[in-house]
Each structure stands twice: as C-alpha cells, then as structure tokens.
Structure 1
Amino acid sequence: MNRTPGTARDIGGVPAGTVVTAEFARLLARDVYVWGWPIVNAFHRRASFAAAPERGLVGGVLPAAPIGYVTMLSGYVDPAQRWVAHPNQDVVYGFGYGAVDDDPVVLQLPDFGDRFWVCSLYDARSEEFSRLGSQYGTEPGNYLVVGPRWDGRVPDGIRDVLHAPTELVAMGPRVFLDDTAEDLQAVQPLLNQLVIHPLSAHTGEPSHVDWREIPHFPGGANTSGEHQWVDPGTFFDELPGILDRVPPLPGEESRYAMMRALLAAAGSDPAVAAALKEAAVETEATVVAPLFDFRTNGTRLPGGWNSPLNVARWGFDYLTRTATAKSNMYVNQPEETRYFFQEYDSLDRRLDGDRRYTITFPPRQVPPVNGFWSLTLYNPEHFFAPNALGRYSIGTKSKDLTYASDGSLTIHIQHERPSDEHAANWLPAPRGAFELTIRAYWPGPAIEDGTWTPPPVHQV
C-alpha cells in the first residue's frame, strides 16, 4: 500500500486516497468472505420465502410463507425436503422470516402443557435472541417482535416485546412429537393455535390455522444436497447492502470501516474488484466448502464426537458461525440443545453402511436431558438416507426401545435388518458413507459441564 499526500480523513485506520493493491485486497477479502457468508446466506433464504403467495408447502414438503408469517408443518419434516440441511424427526417444525423494522411480528403461543417446545428467533447473523419455550416457563399469549428502528405503538393484549438486533428475523418453532399415531393426533390442536403473523394483520382476536389443510405450491424436490445460497461471484456486489442493514456488533466498528474502505477501493480500481471476486471463489472452495464436514465443527470430545459449544451465540467466533451456516443452519442455543456429531467409528474409520455398528449407553447413561434426546442418521449431504422402514432417528420419541437387564441401551446401526431381538433398536443405514448426530434438548447439568459425553461408535 502506498500513501498519497493530502489525505483528508481516515477510513478504518487507512487514510482516504490510499492506494490498495490487488494482493492486499485479496488478503482482506478472504477474511471478509468468511465473516459475511452466513449473513448473505440468511438474506437469500429470506428472499426465497418472499415469493410465497401465502402460507403453504412448496412441492408438498417445504414450509414457505410470505414475509412476516410462519408456516407450520403438521407432522415430521418430509425426508424429501432440501431447503435446510440436517433436519430431525422428533419435532414438528415451522419456519418463516420477518422484516421487523417495516412490520413487526406477533407470536401467538398456546399452552403446551408438559410437552416440550421452543420458539427460536434468529437475527441476520443467525444468533438466537429469544428465550421462548418449555425450559423458560414461557406463558401462553401474544408476543411482539420489533426491529431496532421500529418506532410504533404496541397494541393491547401483548404479553411481552422482544427486540431483534437486526431487521431480518428468522423464526423457527419446534414442538416435540413422538412416533405414535395417538401423539400425532393429540398435537394437532396445539399446532393449530401456534400462529405467527405480521402486526399489520393482527386483529387482537385469537387465530386458528389447520396446518393439515394449507395449500401446496409447485416445486420440484431436489434429491441431492442443499441449495447453494451464497454465490461467490456476486458476494462483494451484495456486501454494501448487507453492511447497511446489519449494524456492527460492539467492537466490530473498525471491521466495518475496513470493509467499506475495501469496497471503495474496488469501486475505483478494476484490478481490486477482480481480486475480490477471485478471492471469494477461492475461499468458497478452500475454506468454506470443507466446513461442511462435521469434523470441522466444534470441539473434539472423547469417543471421537464433535460438539460446538456456542451454537446460535457466536459473538466473534466467525469460524463456527460459518461452519454451522454451511452444514446445519439455524440451530438452538446451547442451553436449549446440545449437538454431538460423529462421522467416524472408534478406530477412526469413516462410518460405512457396508459394516455393522453399535452404540451402547451404559445403565442410566442415556443422554441426561430435561427435554428429550435423539440419535439421527444422515447421508453425507446431511439429509435423511432413504430406508424401507422410514426410520431416521431413535430416542425419547421411540416407545418400543428395548433395554438390557442391567439397564444399558444398545443401538444397532447397519444396512441389513438385525435379528428380531434387536429390531426395535435398529437405526437403518444406507450402503456407503453416513454420519450420526445426537441432539440433547434442554440438556441436564452433566451435559452442560462436560461430565457426560456420548459413547463411541464401535464396529461389530
């Protein structure tokens, strides 16, 4: 960098008019790309929802809703959906987006009784800023979500106001459901009262939607991996708008100034602009793409499991934020859910459905939770692997698990059906590579302080 004389002001520590070389721009651009990847991802996901004409299911499987609304499913997520990777089949999902500077959102939350539920709200950084759910003792009623620049009147009948850090808000309710037909029937009246809509559509009267009767919109089911939400070729063209709509965290002011200086240099020097695009393409391939593997996400634990400790509460941990946005976006805060990832067996060999495996929880050592737990199997793209049984996870929801006489629980993971005595504990695996995730909803103290970790996966 060569300074030019007569600069009038500084931009992020770099005097205005400073010559920015293409190589220096390329160096900074790699860092900026990792920082901004999850945020651009979130804005593109919201834009995809904005096209929905009303609350419904795209292709009959994907919940979609206009901005300010949430569409709830009426049962487990369909294995065919490819909008978000790493779903699970022990909750009923809902999802939608708000633009809460323009139009705040009203959450109508029913009385779930002793059924576990959580209503997660995320800002543009995919940080969860809400504390709504069973473990918080949230009272039923109407809650209002407002943006940082909204300055309106709170209507009567609002129990509490939640202040979003950004105008973009992603909304993801989750309600526990077990595998029985009786529970599927019992949960419907509760789901039908879980209604989220814009303040502009709020009448003050209770709302009711039968989510089993919502319309289906055309849309083909993608059978491969998750949609590519971030285009490195346009990333730096979109970045100025991102910086305008997502204010810096305390301590990020100099980073924002640096990014604006970089963009200003690109606007006046085609070589710098080209360097930014080249750096984005390179960083996508060499840095972001490898973060899709769960072995790169979080802390390595005994038994070979990985677990990120600060999910949905990233702060300045841009690495884990991007890794999670790439592999399994929109996770819960650690005290709501702990995630444990496994791609290798106890001898550090890639899990493969052509082999047979077991996981044995010793007596009284299933995941210690106040909510529920599950073990879910995925293909290498982090989606469900088709199987004739239609069983993708095992856990609290499974009412027919068999325990050994000493109280231990062994899960059998293999492609072929095991013997009858093990069939209830069978998690079907595909041919070829697969991976596992344990979710611990409302984790107990032993999980939170690290004294409990999952047992290893052993090849039989």
Structure 2
Amino acid sequence: MLKGKRLILSLATVLTTLSFSVSTPALTAHVQANAMASQGTVSTKQSRENLAYSLGIQAYIYGYPLVTLEKKKRSALQDKRPLNQFFHLQALPAADYRGVVSPNHDTLYSAAYLDLAQGPLVLHAPDFGKRYYTIQLMDAWTNSFDYIGTRTTGTKEGKFVIVGPNWKGDLPANMKVIKSPTNTVLAGGRILIDGETDIPKVTALQKQMTITPLVQSTKISSSSNASAAILDEKDPLSFFRLLTSSMKSNQPASSDEAHVKQFEHIGISPYHDFDETALDEATLAGLRRAVKDGEEIIAMASAVKGQGQNTWSLNLDYGTYGVDYLKRAVVARTAFGANIPSESVYQRTDVDRDGNPLSGENRYVIRFSKDNLPPVDAFWSLTLYGADYYFVPNRLNRYAIGDRTRELKYNADGSLDIYLQKDPPAGKESNWLPTPAGDFNLMLRLYVPKPIVLEGNYVIPNVQKVN
C-alpha cells in the first residue's frame, strides 16, 4: 500500500490528472512543493527524487496504453504472427484464454497489427450477408479512430485504404480512405457466431479478409517498426525504454504536447530513446518507485465504478479518451480493445442489489421484465468472469447467456430470469450461468445499442440474492 509522502504525491498526481489531464512543470512543482512542505525540509537529492517520482507516475499513466499495445504486438510477432496479416481465432475462447481482458463469447476474433510507415494498406472485407461483423481500427495509444462493418459500412464486400499520418500521394477514388493518427494500428475484427456448429461458416469468411499494400511494388513489413528497446519485466526502467522507443514511431497527439513536454526533465521524449546513463541516481530512484506506484494507481482506479443508475457501472466514454489519460490506462488494463458506445456498450457489476460482493457461495437471479429487455439493434449477452476478468471453468463450458441462446426460456408474462449459482437450478438449467467458488463479476454487452442506452437512460435490473 502507498504510505506517507508517497501517498500524498500519488494522490496529488491522480487528482491533477483527473481534474485537468494536461499538467505543466509549474503545476507539478506546485504539487511537489505542497507534498514536501507536509514533510518538512528535504535535501536537494530528495527533491530530485520526489520530482522524478511525481513526473514518473504521470508518464507511467500516460504511456501505459502505448506500452501495453506494443507488448501485445511483440508477443504476436514472437508467436510468428507477422505484421500486416490477419490472424484469427477459429474457436470460441476457452476458460484458459488470455488473449484479451474480458473476452466475449459472442464473436470469433480476428486481429492484425498494421505498420503504415512504408505506405498505405488495403483491407479487403468479404460479403457478410446478414451476419453482424465489425473491424475496429485502434491507434497505438488505444483510441478507436474508425470502424469497418455492419454499423458503419454495411455488410457487402468492400476494400478500404488505411493511410498513415505522414503519407502523401494519390489515393484511389473507388475505395473508402481511412487516415490513422499513428503508424501502428490494431485492426480488431469481431464476427458474430451462432454456436460451435457455425464455426466453419465464420472461418470461411475469415480466410477472405486480406491486407495488401496499395502500391504493389511496396514490400510489406513483417517486423516491428519501433526501435528494438529491450523489455525486461524485472527492471522498472524498462517501461520507460519501451515507452520512448514506441513514441518515436507513434507520435503523441498535438493535444498532449504540454503534458509530454514536462517529461523531458526525466529523460522521456518522443524524439529520442531513454538513456538512464544521462540521469542521476536520485532521478532513477524516483522513476523506479513511480513504476510500482503508477501500476497501483491504475489498479485502484480500475475499481472505481462508472456512472450508472444502480449497481451496474455505465461507461459511455470508452474507445476514445482525449486527454483523460487515467481512463485510457484503466481501460487498457481491464478491457483492452473496448469499443466505442455506438458499436457496443459494456455495463459491469461485481455486487448484488445490497452492495455486497458477488460470490459463488450464494445464489442469485437477474429478472428482466418484458418491457426492459436489453434494447439493441444487433444483439446482447451477459458474460460471467472471475475476479481477474477472465473466464472461469465450469461443467457446461458456458460463459455467457444472451438473446441468441437457443434453449433460453422466457416466463409466461414475457419476462426473463437468469440464474447465477454454482449448482444447477432444478428445472431451470437452460437459464443457468454457472458461478465459480469465489468472487466474480458480470458484464452485459449491448451490440449496436438503441438511443435509450447511449443517452444513459437504460436501467439494468440489479442482481438479487436468493435463499
């Protein structure tokens, strides 16, 4: 836990970030001075460490999404999944799946890490007929800047030109042009699947999704465009090495300029690599502390509920984050790749209607009245996760229930009951979502939600504990 001076500095930094995300050296110095005053006179060496610590926490929160995406990209390369090529999940995620946090059980995933530094790329999508699909285009900072799919471009076959921020040249008039703010892009595909028997049809569509260079003479890169910063999880300073190397290839937004400028005091810049040999030991000590406590701050902020009308959190600001760097970091940690609300809304709870943590030691029910079923233009699902935001093994291999669950039974009045418990509810197994022995949480996904959801006026029933 954070204590004493570290707690004062960290909380001051978080409050600064939450209230006005673009900090300045003067403001940071003011926060630092207040923290020091509360502890009495400190040495010059301690002052340097404190300043590095305060700035380091802000840099950690700011850079966390960029580093997270870069680490995932490197992991894909290590798994022999080249850049500029789709790789696909061709089975629904199992209990041990760790590819993304809070995975869904409604779609088959596809993904491609794009490198636009060498020129535009053409993404081909086949004809999906009446099947829902979406391809989310996320920049290196995890902002979703555009979409291809049912909601935005329709389901007919199409070709889309994706262009990097600095490219200049002629573009085809017969293709939709999408400009990316960064050279690194994660194209995340989700294709609706109707159970295990539907897998062959979905995989056939996946095979028709391709990425090719606009200029055919251009050689497609198959390795990372970032400098080869070494990632050593045991060395806290490794975070800042990877951050600066990734920023060189994916420049921060212009709105971040003032915030990023102050990091030059601790050797962090989007124009050169991080060189700890140029920093004194006091500064390095502050940065090492900042990594540990920055991670703890993001974890603590992850536990803060969104703005909902009951025990369910409601987040209508996922997908694009502006200068809300803490929100961006929290989503990268707990729901990496979350869609913008127009595509899908996620509402989560980990407590019952009395505010008590959801636990497999109890039995629960959620009742949707006929007039309060989730309002969507596509589909909805309720997914259960363990405390770590991943699936938990169960005897049915069932991790979600939704409007497409074939055996789902509605009550005579049109209402719907979903049962949450360890053991099967007698005679109600069709509506049963098995729970683990310990704590768990729930996420209701609303795909292409109706305006009542986007306006924040849809109220999900609370989870009720039953005897």
Please, what TM-score do these two structures have when normalized by structure 2? 0.80
- Per the alignment, residue 280 of structure 1 pairs with 291
d(CA) in 2 for partners of 1:394 and 1:202?
48
Do the aligned partners of 1:77 and 1:93 also contact (CA within 8 Å) in 2? no
Do the aligned partners of 2:237 and 2:287 also contact (CA within 8 Å) in 1? no
SS of structure 2 residue aligned to 1:191: helix
SS of structure 2 residue aligned to 1:319: helix
Do the aligned partners of 2:94 and 2:391 also contact (CA within 8 Å) in 1? no
Deviations 1:26-68 (A, max 9, x none): 1121111111111111111111222343xxxxxxxxxxx2111
Matching of residue 387 in structure 1 with residue 394 in structure 2: yes
RMSD, aligned CA: 2.6
Gap change, CA 1:411 and 1:84, over 3 Å in 2: same
Matched ranges for 1:18-29 at <5 A: 21-29=48-56
Do the aligned partners of 1:178 and 1:396 also contact (CA within 8 Å) in 2? no
Which of 281, 292, 306 lines up with 1:298 in the alignment? 306
Q: Alpha-carbon deviation of 1:356?
A: 0.6
Do the aligned partners of 2:382 and 2:442 also contact (CA within 8 Å) in 1? yes
SS of structure 2 residue aligned to 1:132: strand
Do the aligned partners of 1:378 and 1:384 also contact (CA within 8 Å) in 2? yes
Q: Alpha-carbon deviation of 1:231?
A: 6.7
Deviations 1:373-404 (A, max 9, x none): 00000111111110111111000220221111
Which of 161, 164, 174 lines up with 2:180 in the alignment? 164
Do the aligned partners of 1:98 and 1:168 also contact (CA within 8 Å) in 2? yes
Matched ranges for 1:227-242 at <5 A: 232-242=236-246
d(CA) in 2 for partners of 1:130 and 1:257?
28
Q: Alpha-carbon deviation of 1:199?
A: 5.0
- Per the alignment, residue 225 of structure 1 pairs with none
- Per the alignment, residue 105 of structure 2 pairs with 89
Q: Alpha-carbon deviation of 1:152?
A: 5.2
- Per the alignment, residue 369 of structure 2 pairs with 362
- Structure 1, unaligned runs of 5 or more: 1-11, 54-64, 204-227
Q: Alpha-carbon deviation of 1:432?
A: 1.2
d(CA) in 2 for partners of 1:322 and 1:48?
20
Q: Alpha-carbon deviation of 1:235?
A: 1.6
Matching of residue 269 in structure 1 with residue 277 in structure 2: no
- The alignment covers a number of residue pairs equal to 404
d(CA) in 1 for partners of 2:425 and 2:25?
65
- Per the alignment, residue 245 of structure 1 pairs with 249
d(CA) in 1 for partners of 2:65 and 2:49?
25
Identity percentage of aligned residues: 32
Matching of residue 423 in structure 1 with residue 429 in structure 2: yes
Matching of residue 148 in structure 1 with residue 165 in structure 2: yes
- Structure 2, unaligned runs of 5 or more: 1-23, 27-43, 219-231, 269-274
* Worse-superposed segment, 69-78 or 263-272: 263-272
- Per the alignment, residue 210 of structure 1 pairs with none
d(CA) in 1 for partners of 2:87 and 2:338?
18
Deviations 1:411-451 (A, max 9, x none): 0011101112x111111111111111000010001111122
Do the aligned partners of 1:106 and 1:142 also contact (CA within 8 Å) in 2? yes
Deviations 1:145-179 (A, max 9, x none): 1211234554x696222111011111110011122
Which of 311, 318, 326 lines up with 2:325 in the alignment? 318
* Worse-superposed segment, 132-141 or 183-192: 183-192
SS of structure 2 residue aligned to 1:252: helix
* Worse-superposed segment, 349-358 or 246-255: 246-255
Gap change, CA 1:445 and 1:230, over 3 Å in 2: farther
Gap change, CA 1:166 and 1:93, over 3 Å in 2: same
d(CA) in 2 for partners of 1:401 and 1:429?
18
Letter in 1 for 2:292: V
Matched ranges for 1:329-408 at <5 A: 329-408=336-415
Which of 118, 127, 143 lines up with 1:111 in the alignment? 127
Q: Which runs of 4+ in 1 moved over 6 A?
A: 200-203, 228-231
SS of structure 2 residue aligned to 1:162: strand
- Per the alignment, residue 206 of structure 1 pairs with none
Do the aligned partners of 1:98 and 1:104 also contact (CA within 8 Å) in 2? no
SS of structure 2 residue aligned to 1:387: coil
Q: Alpha-carbon deviation of 1:200?
A: 7.0
d(CA) in 2 for partners of 1:74 and 1:39?
28
